[in-house]
Structure 1
Amino acid sequence: MTVWDRPEPSPRPAPLDRERIVAAAVALADEGGLEAVSLRKVAARLGAGPMRLYGYIATKEELFDLMVDEVYAEILPEGRPGDWREALRVLAERTRLAALRHEWLADLLGGRPALGPNALAVSEATLAALDGLADVDTAMRAVETVGAYYIGAIRREIANLRAERATGLSESDWQRARGPHVTGMLATGRFPALAKFVHEGTEVDAGTSFATGLEWILDAVAAKLARPPA
């Protein structure tokens, strides 16, 4: 039985419900990451005894499941996507924006499928846009392929943001600080391909990089969907 199937206990003697518990947990995670979340800390924020929370949530893993589903409400498209490509693009973009608001989400993406009502609504909206365009297995592989891209890209972006805070150096500052080492290594002539990319490549911001890579992945999916079945 999942946490969503289990009924909540009575709110007495003090007002308490899963909605308030999850909101407090999300606030703690936004402030200090997942390591800042425990049933004891959530209870303290709500002014309740820790044991009271166990009537609503059995484990910290269940609490994380509820927190993720709370954020999926932010990811859910506001309207019906125009086509499959827009549906997958919107899913990727809204997931990235949600992760930038709630960085801890990046640590919980990519595991087992989220089964909460909001997560299932997101899946429904996405798969509905692909219904009838290809067989079920092809449609699922399309969603998985796009998901693998944006989850990886989001995790990398969040990791860079965390590194900036930990070191006090922006990406540009970090590159300048390591510039002499990189320049010296490239000058040895041992890394000609890398030297070409470093000297001739154009640096773009994380948002542009994400959007460009996403369009390339969608182009690949479009080519697969357009190919007649073997």
Structure 2
Amino acid sequence: MTTNDTPTVVLVHGAFADASSFARVIPELLADGLKVLAPAVPNRSLVGDSAYIASVVRRIPGPVVLVGHSYGGAVITVAAAEENVKALVYLAGYALEEGESLGELQGGFPDSELASALVYTPFPLEGGDGEGTDVSVEVDRLPAIFAADVDPGLARILAVTQRPLAAAAFGEPAPTAAWKTKPSWGIVARADRTLNPDVQRFGYRRAGATTVEVDSSHLVMLSHPECVADVIRAAVRSLNN
């Protein structure tokens, strides 16, 4: 296998987190000889974030497996339209339909505990053209809602280092849904108190994803890294079939 044939796994984090949320999965993938990239997602808009990840993917020689956690699932749904993306992996994520927003998909199911813990904070838009709104999670509630099965000390760190998501992203429709033409895998976090597991199941079923269920909090890649790595490996193996 040449260097350009070696798949690159691109790990896309979600809202209220950053690329360090993949810290326990990355060593597993590197040990397999895979190339791995975990870029920082701006978390400003679905279309803009997807365009940014697509630009990262376009610079990668060879095939890509695009992995998205939570909101990152919506991002990869759009960004995976890039030609060299060969498979998608959703981790407790949103698998949107074309023309569907996060709010629309989520709105068809009962709210999770997250809804009552959200904090809305204004921020200045670039160029001084008005204000936007950042969405984050109450610091003292994030550990239980977001990371109940993660080491408590780490969960407290995650609570104070969370990366907000601009509220505008919740209402933006996905301009495309790459799972319609590319194979996908999905992990349902059964004990998820951030994203209703039924939202995950519905999206994966609609996408025809190969699905695994894990008794996990929302941060499945920190609490069950071996399982996440195994699902990513299955997606990588499919490239040779």
Task: Answer 1 or 2: higher relative contact order, Cα 8 Å, separation at least 6.
Answer: 2
TM-score normalised by structure 2 residue count:
0.25
- Higher percent of residues as helix: 1
Give the greater-gyration-radius structure (CA): 1
TM-score normalised by structure 1 residue count:
0.26
